[in-house]
Amino acid sequence: MASRGRIYKYLAAALLAAFCLAFARTDTTEKSMVRAVLVEPGEMGWTVGLLYQAPEASADSSEVSDGIGFAAAEGPSLERALNNAASLLPLDANFRLCDYLVLMPGSGWQTLAEYESLVLARQCGRTSALLSACDFTCQEISKATEESGDLLTALLQSLKQTQDAAPRLYEARTDAGLLLPLLAIREDTLTIQPEGWFVSETGSVAWDAQRTAVYRLLTGWGEEFVFWMGEHPLTLRRPLLSVAVEEDNCFAVRLDCQTAADSVDPTPEELAQLSALCNQMLQERWEAGQDLIGLGACAALRQGEAGWLEPTKNACPQLRTDVDVY
């Protein structure tokens, strides 16, 4: 009887393994794997583009491979547009590997809220999707793809390269603004721009390269931060930020950075100029309702919960920012 019981156990385990294998295969290789959702609001409705990989393209791999396709469709609502785009895929859409959400011209803070609500209701994406923006439309992608299929591979590769500077969808719930990497098509080539696209409840606006670099340096979003303080670029890496509250209640903010190997060493005047830019950014974002580096929490640690500062309730505290390199 004991040996028969073991046989039944082995048989049950084999059947379970076969079922799991069949389910996994059905869930992945027999569906079109959506890698990115591109949303584009318009006056009369929405356009949604889906960047996907066909099953034979080894879509489970994190590496870019052949078999990348693009489908776009319109609809009176975001949900209808997404459904229409999904119906154009060669197989049923699977959003398990949908790691990216791209905001197209006309998108803003409300776009993020509507898409997240749709994701939570229908599981047609991920709330942890990385956010980017672009200055081209779904129609322009489709037209460029007809001329060169390499654009779609470049698009997916560029999205992967921006992930260190890209916030996630769920961060829009708690932050007063998000700075997104900006993609563009220049001379039929897809590029990652040094500029950024800032999205908040008050609107969406393009930031120039220097403003973008200052914001990312303070928040640590990115790997390298390039500044043109004179005739030569200054490239900083690995920023280490510290905040201290001095006796006069002045916040002393310090940034210690490493210069890149191919960068010139900054002069004291250039460091002072960069320090002033960082200080200005902190003050501007505070006045806009965003505590960029957690000054409120730092005050609470020193003075207790009663000393907590909030941009929506308190004036910007006195700041002094210093940038140094090693």
| Total tally of structural domains belonging to the chain | 3
Residues 206 and 183: their CA atoms lie apart, in Å, by 12
Q: Are residues 308 and 188 part of one domain?
A: no
In a domain, 311, yes or no: yes
- 203 and 68 in a single domain? The answer is yes
Asked whether 70 and 76 are in contact (CB, 8 A), the reply is no
Residues 100 and 150 in one domain: yes
Please tell me the number of Cα atoms within 13 Å of 147 on its side-chain side.
8
Positive or negative torsion for Cα 75, 76, 79, 83: negative
Whether residues 177 and 61 share a domain: the answer is yes
Rounded to whole angstroms, the Cα distance separating 3 from 91 reads: 46
The backbone region for 240, taken as left when phi is positive above 0, alpha when psi lies in -120 to 50, beta otherwise, is beta
The distance of Cα 54 from the centroid of its chain, to the nearest Å, equals 24
Does residue 47 sit in the same domain as residue 193? yes
215, part of any domain: no
Tell me whether residue 119 is in a domain.
yes
The identity of residue 81, as a single letter, is: A
Residue 141 lies in a domain: yes
* pLDDT string in tens for the chain (326-residue length): 445 555 555 565 556 555 555 444 444 458 899 999 999 999 899 999 999 997 655 444 444 446 899 999 999 999 999 999 999 999 999 999 999 999 999 999 999 999 999 999 999 999 999 999 999 999 999 988 877 668 999 999 999 999 999 999 999 988 889 999 999 998 888 999 999 999 999 999 999 999 999 999 999 999 999 998 878 889 999 999 999 988 778 999 999 999 998 888 899 999 999 999 999 999 999 999 999 999 998 888 877 877 788 998 999 999 999 999 98
Residues 19, 39: one domain?
no
Kindly state whether residue 212 falls inside one of the protein's structural domains: no
Examine residue 179 and state whether it is found in any structural domain, yes or no: yes
Shared-domain flag, residues 176 and 272: no
Asked whether residue 198 falls in the same domain as residue 252, the answer is no
pTM of the full predicted structure? 0.85
In angstroms, rounded to a whole number, what is the distance separating the alpha carbons of residues 66 and 58?
A: 9
Q: Count H helices, E strands: the chain?
A: 8, 13
Tell me which of 186, 207, 228 is where a domain ends: 207
* Strands 100-103 and 46-53, sheet pairing: unpaired
Same domain, 254 and 122: no
- Cα(323)–Cα(253) distance, integer angstroms: 9
Domain boundary among 178, 207, 236: 207
Helix spans in the chain (H): 2-28, 78-86, 109-122, 138-147, 150-161, 209-219, 268-287, 295-303
Residue 264 is given by DSSP the state P
Same domain, 310 and 260: yes
| Token pair in block for residue 263 | 């960068």
The boundaries of the domain holding residue 20 are 1-28
Instruction: Please tell me whether residues 95 and 192 are part of one structural domain.
Output: yes
Domain membership flag for residue 19: yes
Beta bridge partners of 324: 256
126 phi/psi in degrees, rounded to 5 = -135, 135
**Which residue, among 100, 111, 112, 21, has the nearest Cα to 68 in the 3D structure?**
100
Choose the final residue of a domain: 170, 185, 207.
207
Yes or no: say if 141 and 169 are a contact pair by the CB < 8 Å rule.
no
Q: Which helix (DSSP H) or strand (DSSP E) does residue 323 occupy?
A: strand 319-325
Residue 213 located in a structural domain: no
Residues 126 and 20 in one domain: no
